Amino acid sequence: MLTGIHFLLTYICNFECDHCFVYSSPSAKGTFSLQQIRLVLQEAKKIGVEWVYFEGGEPFLFYPLMVEGIRITNSMGFKTGVVTNAYWATTVEDAKLWLSSLRDLGVSDISISDDSFHYPEKEEEKGEEGEEKGEEENLAKNAYAAARGLDLPVASICIDKPDALSVAKGETSLRFRGRAAEKLIKDLPRKHWKELKECPYENLEKPERVHLDPFGNVHICQGLLMGNMWKTPLSELIENYDFKKHPICEPLVKGGPALLAEKYDVEHETVFVDACHFCYSVRRLLIDRFPEYLAPRQVYGLG
């Protein structure tokens, strides 16, 4: 049963992180309108959704739109959450100004990206006068402190940069899709593609949450679509979803990315970091054959 929807409120972001699942950047395209948000929420009401998240990209770049979207969402009885990189939290005091509206609206969760992709740590070095210079200011910590000061429910999201040991043990929190599949795979251990026979990260049989983008795409996984909600109402897409009739999900459920590659006779490399890396790579090669199910192209690093 679907319990959550996540608005990719915008693909635009002030960061351009190497690990980004959806290739967000300052030049990315696509932002929801208020009318579109209302349409989605009307459909969500029909299907028993409990949680609605606003994320991106960076949703705070469109602060009035985000706040009004949250207001409408809460007024309809949903629980709301926000995911942010906290670029706006220049001081704790200023961060409280940004967050006070969310407190007043009764936001149920704020998740703040706090890792070296967003706020790189620097080795201590000596300044011109010999004083020690520490790491670059971490704005996420300002936002976290402000949220706690306002009694807002808050948590940190920390995605560690992968290393050979964590990947070999299967302990990395990073998913090798989107920009990560291009930027972060160098020198990591690989597995033979025939070993990668399952999708370990997403419930493709009975999705519990989907991501929605401004182009109408309903993502089961980033870039893997259930359909387009501007063409078919979201409630109908959810009600009628059957992985056995889905040309991409059906082989992934039955045999992982290995079966997906075999089914469509995809020419590919021999080894991959993990199943996510292999799946994303195969889907990227199939994007022109299945444009209704593999989109948008910018999520695959394509124009």
pLDDT for position 132:
43
pLDDT for position 134:
42
9-13, 172-176, 223-227: least confident range: 172-176
Task: Answer whether 13's CB lies under 8 Å from 85's CB.
Answer: yes
Q: What is the pLDDT of residues 168-180, one digit of tens each?
A: 888 888 999 999 9
Could you tell me the pLDDT band of residue 131, with boundaries at 50, 70 and 90?
very low
Closest CA to 284 of 125, 177, 174: 177
pLDDT at residue 129 greater than cutoff 60: no
CA distance 176 to 11: 19
28-37, 71-80, 111-120, 257-266: least confident range: 111-120
pLDDT for position 122:
57
CA distance 145 to 150: 9
pLDDT for position 151:
97
CA distance 252 to 194: 13
CA distance 250 to 259: 9
Tell me what the mean pLDDT of segment 38-49 comes to: 96
Using DSSP's 3-state secondary structure scheme, residue 74 falls into: helix
Write down the mean pLDDT value for the chain: 94
Dihedral Cα 111, 114, 117, 119, nearest 10 deg: 130
CA distance 44 to 50: 9
pLDDT at residue 136 greater than cutoff 70: no
DSSP letters for 92-133: HHHHHHHHHHHHHHT--EEEEE-STTTS-----EE-TTS-EE
Helices (H), the chain: 34-46, 63-75, 92-105, 139-149, 164-168, 180-183, 234-240, 249-263, 275-286
Could you tell me the pLDDT band of residue 123, with boundaries at 50, 70 and 90?
very low
pLDDT at residue 125 greater than cutoff 60: no
Q: What is the pLDDT of residues 73-122, one digit of tens each?
A: 999 999 999 999 999 999 999 999 999 999 999 999 999 999 999 998 75
122-131, 170-179, 188-197: least confident range: 122-131
Tell me the pairing of strands 125-126 and 224-228. unpaired
